[in-house]
Chain A
């Protein structure tokens, strides 16, 4: 089988921040009642992560899980693990009103690293980054497109958008991260 190709072929740019496309990542959408005990244990088994609180993401040994809405999660696993994870989740949750879908290829994942990451993202996202602690995630907007912004570390963000928008997101972020565009808002 051919190797999967991500939308931007692992592009990289260094300016005000280090910007990179993360490459193929396993992503699974789960919709259902997040209070369901079976769901929490199935998710834990796949990712090693606990059920996240509202607007949070939690990380485990084999992956991570992000709260996306009151009835939606996004699981992160290795790309190759996505299909078997979907099967395992479906088996574990058979009979429950839960929907599981592999969305690994539907999205592009970008990472921003550096002390100015908030400032760069604040140019396109109406998000108060002072109110986004490490481990927090926001479903918001990046200029004209939908985006999820996950603060993995103090100065490290993962930004997820639809695959078809990857080039737009990349062109925008790499322009806004060009030296000369320093802001100094988030220090």
Chain B
């Protein structure tokens, strides 16, 4: 039974008891506990079920490499699946739920898979579920999806209650890992005056050295760590970040690190996590090493743990996994665990050492304590179901056919040696070399990831670099810090540790284990990949490690094979009869540990999800019933609804009122780009299809802009401000693009033209005053501009004051009515609007929205970019030949629109449509034609581009692109209506209303 010891535990505060629940059961831990240590202390060994066979699972590790102890944590808006118990700090009231079982953790029906394990070997899914084809979608996949998997995704309708943020930071040297290596490297770089950021994944500093009892510079490791921290904190050029996981190293020294600010105090009024986006000149990865399991039968039974993890639990949190612990190893480090456990009162029945003899300093220390060492031995099999009950021994150099001895125990500590954490070094292309002596891959200092200067920008340090003994760690890390800082040599800290006898590579236990044993040797306990699976893959021809990974799912779980990787490779290499380095590793990719989506989103959620652009009149609209619609990032009123009014009714009212009397439109979102300079006219002639250079100051002209392919890109009214200046109005959504387009041509192609552009879109509030009383209401406001029919004729603009405000008044119309657009500085926009509302009251003035604007322009046959155009439409398709200059040598799009397909006679061209029954055609409705195309689809001859009910005409009207449309006036063709019904419509002129233009010319 796992339990808490009465004394010890350097990280816990026994004065602060914390209550929590596990599957509803009330348990207790201490402040400083992780969820894992608290569960172990509370006697909870069975923690979950595996992915495929639903085998019982318990703790294996004490850090980020943990494959099994994953929980659903929290509830409601703070529920999160797959939380690693080993790296999650305990907090009061924590609610943990185990995963992947039904109906309960103890009795899981899915465990029936375990009975069929013999048949569920590698590639089973590929082989089994391929026939019959239709079964995959309807039978196999739904079943597999229900039984496989780990945590459940949070309820999609529940919104995360926490706030998140990101932070941009810069450093000369970023050190990832706050163990003794990271501290030494950071200290070396910081003392050289470099700007240093040091981050550590855990809440505490120092890594495993204080657990191991290392002595550094004559002090205990704990004291040395505190002294380094104090020194670093005193330096203004150092930032220390604990609870911060380095998750990814990217090009150009860009590193993501996730800082957990409130994970350990949910509900605190602070951001839950902060994603650091760090740009560092040099990165030191002091990420330590991860212990490897040993592959023996039953190594997945709860109670079998990594030996160093047991030591961590004992020293840090005073918890032990059992009362009788068998230690099994191929190296000396596990002896430290045996000694520590023994000294804490735990019985160690034997240390099973696979090496033929064991007589190093640590072995002697164990023997001196009376601990039995069984050299040359192996665990043949672990006995037990939901937890360990004993082990069977055999000779390591055997097939394990017979049991030599049975030892009763309730936990097993295993150590297969250590693998440097090379992930961050490898993320950006750093290469590895095989270290024969250590039996691991370590960073190749000759082939680091290269930065912009061709120099390596990641330096591995300490155990992460393969320097396993504490004394080597500090020398290596100190040198790494100096190298990262480009600093001169200084003396490194000195550590003292017991010498270790060499480890022996043991990839299987016993060495020639028979099939029944190999079938029970887990490589990846989370995804249920066993030694036999990798061997099967090799037999079936999988030679590449990447293919084997995908075939067997080795290392594809949430832990990404942190403990299984090297063991799997070794088995594959052995099966292929090749040396391990020839087989190579799979690719290490960010993130090192999973990042929560909230952290990736940062502040960009809720109202900050996307910038919302607001006009100066936004608040007024909001207060007056605006029914919003997005236009680019702007919000514009679609219509202004009155109490009890439908959207449709509001739109109809707004159109009628504007046509009959007076309407106001907030046109502030229209793009307004100043083009100025001696070559401005020449530039304008290139930008627009029209001749703009002939436009006289004070006059306006409607213009079209095409891209190089001749496709219509934007349109709007151009006002000539002076001989060398134009104001280009663009569509609301197109302003930024058009401005960028102009600058692109000026900066990259016509860099010697003397033209400046300035985007003045937001400088002005622009209000359209539309309807028969438009002039009257403006005159009421008082202006020094003569607004008379002849004084300010159609398509002219004048500058002066209106209601005491500086104003430009453009006499332009997008509705066919008498219409003025008034631009005033944005800060005066609201005042002008309010004066217009006040002065217009006697005419029943109404604000109108974008839908009324659309209907009125469609009644007039005016095109809308994005409705009548879709990126494949040239101006000629829309009957806009009049706006294409024939006199100009060149303009953007000229050659494009002369291509064969663009001048073909059967192009779809713009026409008006009137349904015979007066109904409104669905938007984008197609007109079918005879026959089918090469893909067997029905041929079409036209498409509706705009369709509305016209309150002015009392019937449905539409604009459409129809093959040879303008040649087919009066013809009736059918469009697809709702529900498959065909709707006959007559092809008519595009202008439905006031064809002579008398209404706007008054």
A residues lining the B interface (CB < 8 Å):
1-2, 4-7, 24, 29, 31-32, 71, 83, 97, 99, 101-107, 119, 122-128, 130-131, 143-145, 162-168, 171-172, 175-176, 178-181, 183-185, 187
Q: Using C-beta atoms within 8 Å of the partner chain, give the interface range for chain B.
A: 35 or more
CB 8 Å contact bits of B587-611 with A (1 = contact, 0 = none): 0000000000000001110011011
- Which of the segments B299-307, B758-766, B767-775 contacts the partner chain? B758-766
Q: In the assembly, what is the distance between CA of A114 and CA of B610, in Å?
A: 28
Q: Is B825's CB within 8 Å of the partner chain A?
A: yes
Among B195, B804, B825, the most chain A Cβ lie within 10 Å of the Cβ of: B825
Query: What residues of A have a CB within 8 angstroms of the CB of B805 in the complex?
Result: 1-2
Smallest Cβ distance from A55 to chain B, in angstroms? 16
Query: What residues of B have a CB within 8 angstroms of the CB of A107 in the complex?
Result: 762
Smallest Cβ distance from B727 to chain A, in angstroms? 10
Smallest Cβ distance from B282 to chain A, in angstroms? 16
Q: Is B828's CB within 8 Å of the partner chain A?
A: yes
Residue of B nearest to A2 (CB): B831
User: In the bound complex, do residue A7 and residue B616 qualify as a contact, i.e. CB atoms below 8 Å apart?
Assistant: yes
Query: What residues of B have a CB within 8 angstroms of the CB of A145 in the complex?
Result: 611
Beyond A102-B763, A126-B168, A163-B616, 10 extra complex contacts between A and B, CB < 8 Å: A2-B805, A7-B616, A104-B827, A105-B825, A123-B165, A123-B167, A164-B614, A172-B603, A180-B268, A187-B236
Query: What residues of A have a CB within 8 angstroms of the CB of B614 in the complex?
Result: 7, 164, 166-167
Q: In the assembly, what is the distance between CA of A128 and CA of B197, in Å?
A: 14
Q: Is B109's CB within 8 Å of the partner chain A?
A: no
Query: What residues of B have a CB within 8 angstroms of the CB of A167 in the complex?
Result: 612, 614
User: In the bound complex, do residue B269 and residue A176 qualify as a contact, i.e. CB atoms below 8 Å apart?
Assistant: no
- Which of the segments B38-46, B555-563, B673-681, B869-877 contacts the partner chain? B673-681
Identify whether the interface residues of B are mostly helix, strand, loop, or mixed.
mixed
User: In the bound complex, do residue A144 and residue B763 qualify as a contact, i.e. CB atoms below 8 Å apart?
Assistant: no
Q: In the assembly, what is the distance between CA of A181 and CA of B167, in Å?
A: 11
Query: What residues of A have a CB within 8 angstroms of the CB of B611 in the complex?
Result: 143-145, 165, 168
User: In the bound complex, do residue B165 and residue A171 qualify as a contact, i.e. CB atoms below 8 Å apart?
Assistant: no
Q: Is B628's CB within 8 Å of the partner chain A?
A: no
User: In the bound complex, do residue A144 and residue B756 qualify as a contact, i.e. CB atoms below 8 Å apart?
Assistant: no
User: In the bound complex, do residue A168 and residue B608 qualify as a contact, i.e. CB atoms below 8 Å apart?
Assistant: yes
Residue of B nearest to A181 (CB): B271
Among A6, A29, A164, the most chain B Cβ lie within 10 Å of the Cβ of: A164
Among B239, B826, B830, the most chain A Cβ lie within 10 Å of the Cβ of: B826
Smallest Cβ distance from A42 to chain B, in angstroms? 16
Q: In the assembly, what is the distance between CA of A104 and CA of B763, in Å?
A: 7
Identify whether the interface residues of A are mostly helix, strand, loop, or mixed.
loop
Smallest Cβ distance from B830 to chain A, in angstroms? 6
Residue of A nearest to B607 (CB): A171
Query: Which of A104, A119, A162 contacts B825 (CB under 8 A)?
Result: A104
User: In the bound complex, do residue B762 and residue A101 qualify as a contact, i.e. CB atoms below 8 Å apart?
Assistant: no
Q: In the assembly, what is the distance between CA of A71 and CA of B676, in Å?
A: 14
Query: What residues of A have a CB within 8 angstroms of the CB of B825 in the complex?
Result: 4, 102, 104-105
Query: What residues of B have a CB within 8 angstroms of the CB of A104 in the complex?
Result: 763, 825, 827
Query: What residues of B have a CB within 8 angstroms of the CB of A105 in the complex?
Result: 762-764, 825-828
4 closest cross-chain pairs (CB), A and B = A180-B270, A4-B827, A164-B613, A2-B831
Query: Which of B166, B602, B756, B760 contacts A106 (CB under 8 A)?
Result: B760
Query: Which of B239, B608, B613, B676 contacts A185 (CB under 8 A)?
Result: B239
Query: Which of B270, B279, B756 contacts A99 (CB under 8 A)?
Result: B756
Contacts known (A99-B674, A125-B168, A172-B603); A6 close to B756, Cβ less than 8 A: no
User: In the bound complex, do residue B170 and residue A130 qualify as a contact, i.e. CB atoms below 8 Å apart?
Assistant: yes
Residue of A nearest to B759 (CB): A106
User: In the bound complex, do residue A163 and residue B826 qualify as a contact, i.e. CB atoms below 8 Å apart?
Assistant: yes
Residue of A nearest to B613 (CB): A164
Query: What residues of A have a CB within 8 angstroms of the CB of B239 in the complex?
Result: 184-185
Smallest Cβ distance from A43 to chain B, in angstroms? 16
Residue of B nearest to A6 (CB): B827
Query: What residues of A have a CB within 8 angstroms of the CB of B674 in the complex?
Result: 99, 101
User: In the bound complex, do residue B236 and residue A31 qualify as a contact, i.e. CB atoms below 8 Å apart?
Assistant: no
B residues 161-184 near A (Cβ < 8 Å) are 163, 165-170
